[in-house]
Amino acid sequence: MAKGRLAFLDALRGLAAVYVLLYHVMAMPRPALTPMAPLAAWVQAGGTGVALFFVISAFSLCYTMPGHHASGRPLASFYVHRLLRIAPLFYCWLAFSLFRDGRGDHAGHPWTEVLANLSFTFNLFNGWEEGIVWASWAIGVEMLFYAIFPLLFLWVRSLQRALLLAGASLLAAALAAAGLFGESGVALTGAFGPLRHLPVFALGLCAYHAYRALDTSPTSMAHTRIRIAAVTGVVVWLASIVLASMGLLSSLTFWIACGAAYALLLVGVSRQAPRWLVNRATAYLGKISYSLYLGHPVVIAVLGPVFRRIQAHVTEPTLAYVACALLALAVTLPLAALTYSFVEAPGIALGKRLFPRKAPAATVVASAS
């Protein structure tokens, strides 16, 4: 691990990417690969790995922001680092996607849609929210949060304010989903709507300030609070999956409940993470998680015919799913390692050269990469 990095953030980020991949291995192929219950319910919840991404992102941005302030040009440092962290790999996959979608029966994309993707504003346009790059909707939402984060960071200076922001955004999302703000409000709480994900992002801010509050707690009290957070997070997560599988939770409620569970789990493993969860392997997955996330849908699509052959020869659904999931991982991980090394890493390095972050006094700042 690089000096100053938080290993548990890397590990959780990597596991979140793998969780999303496992979900798409089940959901993308035709016919669908559906393991037997209760594994199916757990895999079906894999899309909430993106909610974990949002929680981790908010936490990490808070943790690294003091380093941007110490650089002397905080806004320039923050935005340049974020752009060079996200844009190079996204633009590579965008170029591939435009080539893919401009062939055969596909009509391609109008230049206005391409421009919206290049500027990361596509999530603001009706019909373009998913993005041209597969699974990039989360990048569109995340970039909107990046745009307002410096203001959030200035205002949310305590756990109380973070909880206030989370409560206010949750109330706004509930009212919008109920139709009180009209059709546009309902759209904002849809699967790709920013208002659906803002409460989860705010919960990441809560997790950060709870983590910081542990510094001022007596050791025994801090350990107790960590254990309570971890156990509560697991219980909320499992209960949410069970209730959702029974149809007792709306999509929005399930998403935010999982976000709350992940925020609790993040705090719960922040000081005493078990080795099976936080180790070199999971930390490396976190390092390449962005490449893994953007690359895995294409891998699964390309492997579709192979998956169908596996289904034809392995009649037990769970075994067929596991075989396909392992194959998808075996192909995606090397691809992610390559795109990280040759696309992501140079962009990250350039950002560090342009705006070297300095650790503020009495604070060690983690790398954002």
- 319: helix, strand or coil: helix
CA 263 to CA 261: how far, in whole Å? 5
Phi, psi of 7 (to 5 degrees): -65, -35
CA 314 to CA 264: how far, in whole Å? 39
> What distances in angstroms separate CA 255 from CA 58, 237, 340, one per listed residue?
16, 10, 29
* 125 secondary structure, DSSP code: S
Give me the pLDDT at residue 220, please: 86
Degrees to nearest 5, angle at CA 260 with 258 and 266: 100
Give me the pLDDT at residue 246, please: 94
Give me the pLDDT at residue 302, please: 96
Cα dihedral across residues 74, 89, 15, 50: positive or negative: positive
Please report how the helices 159-177 and 194-213 are oriented relative to each other, as an axis angle in degrees rounded to 10.
160
Give me the pLDDT at residue 5, please: 76
Q: Please give the sequence-ordered ranges of beta strands (E in DSSP) within 263-360, or none if there are none.
A: none
Residue ranges of the chain with per-residue pLDDT less than 70? 1-4, 104-105, 357-369
- pTM for this model (two decimals): 0.94
CA 32 to CA 85: how far, in whole Å? 34
What's the pLDDT tens digit per position in 78-118? 999 999 999 999 999 999 999 999 776 677 899 999 999 99
Give me the pLDDT at residue 192, please: 96
Give me the pLDDT at residue 360, please: 52
38 prior amide bond cis, ω within 30: yes
For the chain, the structural domain boundaries read: 7-354
Give me the pLDDT at residue 367, please: 38
Contact assessment for residue 300 and residue 259, using Cβ atoms and an 8 Å cutoff: no
